[in-house]
């Protein structure tokens, strides 16, 4: 494969197919066993891993500043760190990292990568632990990126919106992968065409093999007179048919939750419930009724109270006020996004089968070998500790454990993290068929829209509102943002008139009159410097490219300072 300046590549594939390994090889973190990688001279690659470890006592400003290793003064490094932290959405750059949510740590990792001003950005599952607002922000950021990137993701809407090329790593393809131009939807069409052609190939090979087997079966005397080369060719055809059959036989995890069979109409009824933490009102006067067949999606930013509401429904946390009525002997099954209920020091066998060699699923006894195969585990993996398994494999263990529990209410908090696309599709089918209640928190818009028949959105300010589907909520959010921006603009206008400390001096009036031209000239200079960087004489010379990038950075700082000065002078008119 080759990667060009215009490529925005989405990489997909089943768990264990090598997606993360491929990214690490491309980035230079892991050596390939064979073949070679040719990188453009002076190429700077930035890699954002699935998880990033930082000193919890440090601040985002310190971490990003330390990542800038160029020959700059301390003040220049600090200014550059502020620039990138601002671009990824940070307002408080000096908060201890230990206080940041998973979503903000992901933004910090992106700021660290971007501060190196890479020519090529690699992102491994960047939407994991981001809330929906964070995913939408990342989409918008990548859509406006001026550099090529490769991203591993299972979020279908995200892939559709940010990529122009899709590569799937999968053993079902003859070469082990399939690459197609275009976003995810066009890749699906290319994959369908490929699999149809491969099925036709299997049918044609099967016909040839039948003819050759009939020829070989005519008897020993007849075979003695036949060409030995044809006998060898018949053997090759049989082997080739076996390979194509194996590729055409897909292996998917078998997910099917165990419903309790309860006929009760009202499983949980909440009336006027409210909850606050540290004087922050998460929600108040909330009415909620869970009845069989309800598929409720929860929306809201990090910290808006989604997980708290889930814990209230699961009877793990009590509301501050209001009443909750639960059906007798209610069975609630919880999918925890952090998988804290899954011990890391036990073996895969112990995790799937806590006692003995069999499990009881839907009143049937299944041997551990049969049960583990249902979740695509191999017999030789059974004695491995859970800590040695991938995130996707641990997610499948967690689902297997939940399936053994009869449920009236399924609560799923970010179930899509680390699951591959085939597993996601099977999970969606299982949730659609589940006869009880499903309460779902996910940043995967495709799953949210396909599963949920009602949406409840928490605004993080104490409010909650129901919506029919994701499109209705998105339209409401757009209208709300426009109204807030308009109100903020009006408030700033009124405030500036009231807070004038002193009128502009004659020199400042002259400065204001000419600052627009200065900003325009500074922006033109930035554009020219960026255009010059594409000159092969500069792009292929590491030293010249570094000098050029520094000039661009310094020119951008000047533009920012001019804008800040213009806003200050305007506010005092």
Higher per-residue pLDDT: 239 or 309: 309
> Are 79 and 47 part of one and the same domain?
yes
Angstrom distance (rounded) from CA 267 to CA 254: 27
Q: Which tokens is 194 given?
A: 């490929």
pLDDT in tens, 197-206: 888 888 887 8
Lowest-pLDDT choice from 42-56, 84-98, 422-436, 538-552: 538-552
Q: Which tokens is 243 given?
A: 């390979």
Q: What is the pLDDT of residue 492?
A: 61
C-alpha to C-alpha distances, 460 to 191, 275, 449, nearest whole angstrom: 42, 11, 22
> Are 230 and 161 part of one and the same domain?
no
pLDDT in tens, 352-375: 988 888 888 877 888 998 888 888
> Are 17 and 141 part of one and the same domain?
yes
Grouping H, G, I as helix, E, B as strand and the rest as coil, residue 546 is: helix
Higher per-residue pLDDT: 87 or 59: 59
> Are 346 and 435 part of one and the same domain?
yes
pLDDT in tens, 106-156: 889 989 998 888 899 999 988 887 778 788 888 888 888 888 999 999 888
For residue 481, is pLDDT > 80? no
C-alpha to C-alpha distances, 78 to 48, 65, 553, nearest whole angstrom: 21, 6, 13
For residue 269, is pLDDT > 90? yes
Q: How many domains does the chain have?
A: 4
Higher per-residue pLDDT: 423 or 269: 269
Residue 482 lies in a domain: no
Q: What is the pLDDT of residue 493?
A: 62
> Are 220 and 359 part of one and the same domain?
no
Is the CB of residue 457 less than 8 Å from the CB of residue 472? no
Instruction: Supply the DSSP symbol for 346.
Output: S
Q: Which among 274, 308, 282 has a CA at the least distance from the CA of 462?
A: 282
Angstrom distance (rounded) from CA 540 to CA 571: 46
The domain that holds 27 is classified in CATH as 3.40.50.300
Contacts of 203 (CB under 8 A, 6+ apart): none
The average pLDDT across 440-464 equals 87
User: Which helix H or strand E contains 143, and what residues bound it?
Assistant: helix 132-143
Phi first, then psi, for residue 110 (nearest 5°) are -70, -40
Contacts of 222 (CB under 8 A, 6+ apart): none
Residue 475 lies in a domain: no
Is the CB of residue 295 less than 8 Å from the CB of residue 454? yes
Q: What is the pLDDT of residue 502?
A: 67
Angstrom distance (rounded) from CA 540 to CA 8: 22
Residue 486 lies in a domain: no
Q: What is the pLDDT of residue 500?
A: 46
The average pLDDT across 319-335 equals 90
Contacts of 229 (CB under 8 A, 6+ apart): none
Contacts 24+ apart (CB under 8 A), 529-534: 529/555, 530/146
Grouping H, G, I as helix, E, B as strand and the rest as coil, residue 270 is: strand
Lowest-pLDDT choice from 35-39, 43-47, 265-269, 498-502: 498-502
Q: What is the pLDDT of residue 433?
A: 82
Residue 489 lies in a domain: no
Domain that residue 120 falls in: 8-172
Residue 290 lies in a domain: yes
Q: Which among 420, 351, 425, 419 has a CA at the least distance from the CA of 384?
A: 351
User: Taking phi first (over 0 means left), then psi (-120 to 50 degrees means alpha), and beta for anything else, what does residue 272 get?
Assistant: left
Q: Mean pLDDT over all residues of the chain?
A: 83
Higher per-residue pLDDT: 212 or 117: 117
Q: What is the pLDDT of residue 499?
A: 47
Q: What is the pLDDT of residue 540?
A: 63
Q: What is the pLDDT of residue 323?
A: 93
> Are 41 and 104 part of one and the same domain?
yes
Q: What is the pLDDT of residue 163?
A: 94
Is the CB of residue 353 less than 8 Å from the CB of residue 368? yes
Alpha helices in 329-442 (DSSP H): 348-352, 368-374, 391-403, 421-433
How does 254-276 read in b/e, with b if 16+ C-beta sit within 10 Å? ebebbbbebeeeebbebeebebb
Is the CB of residue 435 less than 8 Å from the CB of residue 259? yes
| Bridge partners of residue 365, in order along the sequence | 360
> Are 331 and 361 part of one and the same domain?
yes
> Are 233 and 282 part of one and the same domain?
no
Q: What is the DSSP string of 153-219?
A: ---HHHHHHH-SEEEEE-TTSTTSEEEEESSHHHHHHHHHHHHHHHHHHHHHHHHHHHHHHHHHTT-
β-bridge pairing 45-48 and 120-124: parallel
The domain that holds 534 is classified in CATH as 1.10.287
Helix axes 391-403, 421-433, angle to 10 degrees: 20
The average pLDDT across 163-184 equals 90
> Are 346 and 242 part of one and the same domain?
no
> Are 129 and 241 part of one and the same domain?
no
Residue 437 lies in a domain: yes
Residue finishing a domain among 181, 213, 248: 248
Residue 490 lies in a domain: no
In Å, how far from its chain's centre is CA 322?
36
User: Which helix H or strand E contains 124, and what residues bound it?
Assistant: strand 120-124
Lowest-pLDDT choice from 341-355, 435-449, 519-533: 519-533
The average pLDDT across 456-483 equals 83
> Are 353 and 418 part of one and the same domain?
yes
For residue 501, is pLDDT > 80? no
Lowest-pLDDT choice from 132-146, 331-345, 422-436: 331-345
Phi first, then psi, for residue 146 (nearest 5°) are -100, 5
Is the CB of residue 308 less than 8 Å from the CB of residue 486? no
Grouping H, G, I as helix, E, B as strand and the rest as coil, residue 281 is: strand
Higher per-residue pLDDT: 363 or 547: 363
User: For the chain, how are helix, strand and coil distributed in percent, rounded to 5?
Assistant: 50, 15, 35
Angstrom distance (rounded) from CA 272 to CA 283: 10
For residue 254, is pLDDT > 80? no
Residue finishing a domain among 145, 172, 199: 172
Cα-Cα-Cα-Cα dihedral sign, residues 358, 359, 365, 371: negative
Q: How many residues belong to the chain?
A: 573
Q: What is the DSSP string of 485-536?
A: HHHHHHHHHHHHHHT--SPPPHHHHHHHHHHHHHHHHHHHHHHHHHHHTTSH
Instruction: Work out the end-to-end distance of the chain between its first and last CA atoms, rounded to an integer number of angstroms.
Output: 58
The average pLDDT across 272-296 equals 89
Angstrom distance (rounded) from CA 467 to CA 471: 9
In this prediction, what percent of the chain has a pLDDT beyond 70? 89
Q: What is the pLDDT of residue 341?
A: 67
| Bridge partners of residue 332, in order along the sequence | 409
Residue finishing a domain among 172, 205, 237: 172
Residue 182 lies in a domain: no
The average pLDDT across 212-236 equals 63
Lowest-pLDDT choice from 278-282, 390-394, 541-545: 541-545
The average pLDDT across 383-401 equals 84
pLDDT in tens, 3-55: 888 999 999 988 878 898 999 999 889 999 999 999 888 889 999 988 778 88
Place of tokens 């998917």: 252
For residue 377, is pLDDT > 80? yes
Q: Which tokens is 254 given?
A: 């078998």
> Are 85 and 227 part of one and the same domain?
no
């Amino acid at each position: 494969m080759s990667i060009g300046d215009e490529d925005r590549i989405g990489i997909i594939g089943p768990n264990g197919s090598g997606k993360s390994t491929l990214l690490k090889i491309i980035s230079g973190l892991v050596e390939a066993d064979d073949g070679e990688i040719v990188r453009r001279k002076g190429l700077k690659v930035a890699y954002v891993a699935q998880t990033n470890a930082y000193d919890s006592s440090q601040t985002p400003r310190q971490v990003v500043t330390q990542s800038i290793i160029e020959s700059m003064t301390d003040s220049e490094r600090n200014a550059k760190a502020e620039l990138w932290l601002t671009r990824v959405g940070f307002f408080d750059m000096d908060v201890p990292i230990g206080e940041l949510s998973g979503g903000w740590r992901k933004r910090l990792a992106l700021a660290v990568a971007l501060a190196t001003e890479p020519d090529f950005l690699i992102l491994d599952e960047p939407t994991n632990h981001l809330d929906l607002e964070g995913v939408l922000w990342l989409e918008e950021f990548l859509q406006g990126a001026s550099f090529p990137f490769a991203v591993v993701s299972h979020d279908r809407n995200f892939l559709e919106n940010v990529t122009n090329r899709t590569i799937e790593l999968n053993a079902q393809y003859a070469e082990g992968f399939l690459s197609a131009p275009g976003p995810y939807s066009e890749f699906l069409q290319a994959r369908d065409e490929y699999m149809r052609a491969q099925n036709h190939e299997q049918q044609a090979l099967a016909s040839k093999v039948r003819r050759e087997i009939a020829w070989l079966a005519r008897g020993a005397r007849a075979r003695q007179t036949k060409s030995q080369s044809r006998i060898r060719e018949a053997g090759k055809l049989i082997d080739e048919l076996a390979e194509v059959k194996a590729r055409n036989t897909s292996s998917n995890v078998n997910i099917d939750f165990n419903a309790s069979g309860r006929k009760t109409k009202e499983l949980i009824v909440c009336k006027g419930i409210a909850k606050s933490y540290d004087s922050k009102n998460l929600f108040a006067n909330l009415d909620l009724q869970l009845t069989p067949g309800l598929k409720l999606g929860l929306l809201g930013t990090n910290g808006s109270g989604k997980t708290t509401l889930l814990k209230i429904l699961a009877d793990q946390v009590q509301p501050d006020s209001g009443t909750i009525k639960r059906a007798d002997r209610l069975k609630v099954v919880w999918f925890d996004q952090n998988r804290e209920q899954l011990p890391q020091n036990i073996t895969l066998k112990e995790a799937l089968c806590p006692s003995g060699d069999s499990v009881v699923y839907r009143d049937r006894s299944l041997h551990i070998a049969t049960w583990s195969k249902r979740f695509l585990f191999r017999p030789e993996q059974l004695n491995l500790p859970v800590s040695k398994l991938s995130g996707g494999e641990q997610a499948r263990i967690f689902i297997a454990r939940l399936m053994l529990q009869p449920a009236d209410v399924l609560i799923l908090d970010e179930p899509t993290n680390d699951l591959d696309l085939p597993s996601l599709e099977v999970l969606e089918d299982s949730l659609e068929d589940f006869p009880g209640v499903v309460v779902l928190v996910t940043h995967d818009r495709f799953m949210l829209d396909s599963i949920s028949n009602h949406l409840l959105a928490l605004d993080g300010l104490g409010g909650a509102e129901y919506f029919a589907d994701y499109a209705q909520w998105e339209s409401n959010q757009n209208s709300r943002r426009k109204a807030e921006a308009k109100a903020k603009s009006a408030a700033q206008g009124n405030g500036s008139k009231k807070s004038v400390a002193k009128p502009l001096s004659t020199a400042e009036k002259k400065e204001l009159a000419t600052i627009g031209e200065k900003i325009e000239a500074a922006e033109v200079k930035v554009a020219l410097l960026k255009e010059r960087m594409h000159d092969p004489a500069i792009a292929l010379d590491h030293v010249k490219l570094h000098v050029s990038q520094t000039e661009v950075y310094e020119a951008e700082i000047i533009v920012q300072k001019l804008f800040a000065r213009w806003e200050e002078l305007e506010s005092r008119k």
